[in-house]
Amino acid sequence: MSKQDLRERVWDTLEERGEARFPYPPHDRIPNFAGAEAAADRLAELPAWQDATAIKANPDAPQLPVRRRALKAGKTVYMAVPRLRDADCFLRLDPTEIDDLDDAATIGGSAAAGVQVVPSEVENIDLVVSGSVAVNTEGARVGKGEGYSDLEFAILRAFDRVDEATTTVSTVHEIQLRDEPIETRAHDVPMDVLVTPDRRIRTAAGQKPAGIDWAALPEEKVDAIPILQRLRE
């Protein structure tokens, strides 16, 4: 099964079984799901979460409870600027500088409450939270197909803000947890831990990418992302 076929199957099943949540439809996005808050609660029991002072999180709806919980726990949250379009391509949410933590965790609120920073100004990241369309117990992850999550990790690794020991996690619905093999490439970031509303799964994840896989990047993508232009130079 191709990655796109797998995405379509997951999106369709979430919708057909009534497990998708706003925004609708779940297709062509990191799908929100019933039990996202329970998954965030279960993630908070993970020692790697409890020890983390700075996390990098995706901006999608199913991870909103994760971002809120992190800010309320006093953790600094970093999110990428959409499509990495600016030179200062990460958004820092420091809970000590924010009045309304609930709003700051939202996509719109984060833009107002956060401070854009260049990668060298990002703290060392203790935990990476990624949204997924599908995952398996080997740690392989399928996103929505644009590759930004993996690229964000690679950029942070180029600046030594993440490394092989950085824990990577994804909160997902059980429907998104698949038994079938998922094809991966060298630039794909594996997930160390999968968290559903009902359980946590330590995967058999392999090594994380050591940096940016320039051969896998289309020239037009490099031209559109200032930090990539700087790193290539």
Over residues 168-203, the pLDDT tens digits come to: 999 999 999 999 999 999 999 999 999 999 999 999
Looking at residue 233, its pLDDT comes to: 85
Q: What average pLDDT does this structure show over 47-62?
A: 98
Spatial neighbors of 112 by CB under 8 A, at least 6 apart, are: 103, 104
Looking at residue 20, its pLDDT comes to: 98
Q: What average pLDDT does this structure show over 32-50?
A: 98
Dmax (CA) for the chain in angstroms is 49
Q: What average pLDDT does this structure show over 140-155?
A: 96
DSSP-derived secondary structure letter, 159: T
Dist CA 108 CA 128 (whole Å)? 21
Conformational region of residue 126, where left means phi above 0, alpha means psi within -120 to 50, and beta covers everything else: alpha
What secondary structure, in 3-state letters, does 14-62 show?
HHHCCCECCCCCCCCCCCCECCHHHHHHHHCCCHHHHHCCEEEECCCHH
Q: Which H helix or E strand runs over 117?
A: strand 115-117
Look at residues 170, 169, 157, 146 and name the one whose alpha carbon lies nearest to residue 122: 157
Dist CA 61 CA 65 (whole Å)? 8
In CATH, the architecture of 33-232 is 3-Layer(aba) Sandwich (3.40)
Q: Which H helix or E strand runs over 135?
A: strand 134-136
Q: How confident is the model at residue 1 (pLDDT cuts 50, 70, 90)?
A: confident
The structural domains of the chain, with segments of one domain joined by +, span 33-232
Over residues 84-112, the pLDDT tens digits come to: 999 999 999 999 999 999 999 999 999 99
If you average pLDDT over every residue of the chain, what do you get? 97
Looking at residue 101, its pLDDT comes to: 98
DSSP string, 161-210: SS-TTSEEEEE--GGGEESS-----TTPPPPSEEE-SS-EEE----PPP-
User: Is the pLDDT score of 49 beyond 90?
Assistant: yes
- Residue at 1: amino acid letter: M
State the pTM of this model.
0.96
User: Is the pLDDT score of 28 beyond 90?
Assistant: yes
- Residue at 165: amino acid letter: A
